[in-house]
Amino acid sequence: MKVGTVALIGRPNTGKSTLVNNLVGHKVSITSPKPQTTRFSIYAVYEDEREQIIFIDTPGIFAKTQDKKNKQINLEAQRILKEEINVIIYLIDPTRERGPEENRVLGIMRKIDIPKILVINKSDILGEKSYIEQYKFLEDEFGKAIEISALKSKNLGALLDAIFSHLKEGKRLVVKEDLPVPVLNLNSKTYIEENIREKAFLVLRDEVPYQVKVMVDQISERKNGFIYIKARMIAKDAHYKKMIIGHSAHRIKQINMMARKELELSTGKKIYLALTVEAE
């Protein structure tokens, strides 16, 4: 069996989290149409009869920024590259123009001397609004480009074949059967918090800053077999608290329902989610 660790690098919203989710066949990273969704790196395990891969979904790299949170995100992504990585996937989104963020990522990639695979995402929506010509020069630097659709799981087999060619024979890095989900660095509490946070992004969209926090205070199993989860969404101030709750509490109810349904699918158990909102 071949084994190795593969890091995904790219600017925000190139589809790294969607790609990891569909490669491992289980939702491990939250996704959203907005940047700053992934705040820390997610380690997820993929395995088939020939290889075991630990995929690292890194936060998107921003251009130079004075924002403290964005600086921390950039440092986190670059910290991962100092670990023992076997292959790097450089993911680009050709539906968006190149800019300072892409140039910053490319500058980082050029300094790394390990196998790199150029992956062009969103091939399913490439049409009139395509900036693919702005990225063509990258094929000369990387030798080969693989076009995929992370969302539609298109051409992921070719990507796995390309990764396989760079891995070495070895023993399994982790016993996958021991994991409740194929995630190495998320405990159940963090997994639930991230799930709720994603649903908040989807329901609230542009109306509430993405600094909304989620805290899980209790997870317990009841006699009736239900999993009881007590969690809080923490808004920046009272104004945003009202916006999260919504008229007649319709928004918080929608977030609760969406999070609960996905948690039931991932655990195979009935979930009772007691979700409240408070201001800092």
Express each pLDDT in 239-268 by its tens digit.
888 888 988 999 999 999 988 888 887 677
Give the range of the structural domain holding residue 200, as residue numbers without chain letter. 188-279
% of the chain beyond a pLDDT of 70 = 76
Note the pLDDT of residue 92: 93
Task: Say whether both 156 and 100 belong to one domain.
Answer: yes
Task: Say whether both 36 and 132 belong to one domain.
Answer: yes
Judged by average pLDDT, the poorest of 18-27, 76-85, 149-158, 238-247 is 76-85
User: What is the Rg, in whole angstroms, of the alpha carbon atoms belonging to the chain?
Assistant: 20
Quote the number of domains for the chain. 2
- For the chain, what is the mean pLDDT? 79
Side chain identity at 45, as an amino acid letter? V
Asked if the model's pLDDT at residue 19 lies above 60, the reply is: yes
Note the pLDDT of residue 39: 44
Note the pLDDT of residue 123: 85
% of the chain beyond a pLDDT of 90 = 23
Side chain identity at 133, as an amino acid letter? E
Note the pLDDT of residue 239: 86
Task: Say whether both 242 and 275 belong to one domain.
Answer: yes
More confident residue, 229 or 182: 229
Domain boundary, last residue among 153, 178, 203: 178
Determine the Cα–Cα distance for residues 134 and 230; give it in Å rounded to an integer. 48
Q: Which one, of 8, 49, 50, lies nearest residue 29 by Cα? A: 8
Asked if the model's pLDDT at residue 182 lies above 70, the reply is: no
Determine the Cα–Cα distance for residues 64 and 74; give it in Å rounded to an integer. 9
Note the pLDDT of residue 209: 57
Q: Which segments of 47-176 does DSSP mark as H helices, in order?
A: 68-80, 100-110, 137-142, 156-164
Q: Which one, of 140, 141, 121, lies nearest residue 130 by Cα? A: 121
The string of pLDDT tens digits covering residues 28-70 is 554 444 444 444 466 778 888 898 888 887 765 544 544 454 4
CATH of the domain at 65: 3.40.50.300
In a domain, 183, yes or no: no
∠70-91-207 over CA atoms, to 5°? 45
Note the pLDDT of residue 232: 94
Asked if the model's pLDDT at residue 238 lies above 50, the reply is: yes
Asked if the model's pLDDT at residue 185 lies above 60, the reply is: no
Judged by average pLDDT, the poorest of 21-35, 138-152, 156-170 is 21-35
The string of pLDDT tens digits covering residues 94-129 is 998 988 888 888 888 888 888 999 999 988 886 667
Q: Give 10-41 as a DSSP string.
A: -STTSSHHHHHHHHHTS--S---SSTT---S-
Cα dihedral across residues 160, 98, 81, 22: positive or negative: negative
Task: Say whether both 197 and 270 belong to one domain.
Answer: yes
For the chain, helix (H) and strand (E) counts, in that order, are 8, 10
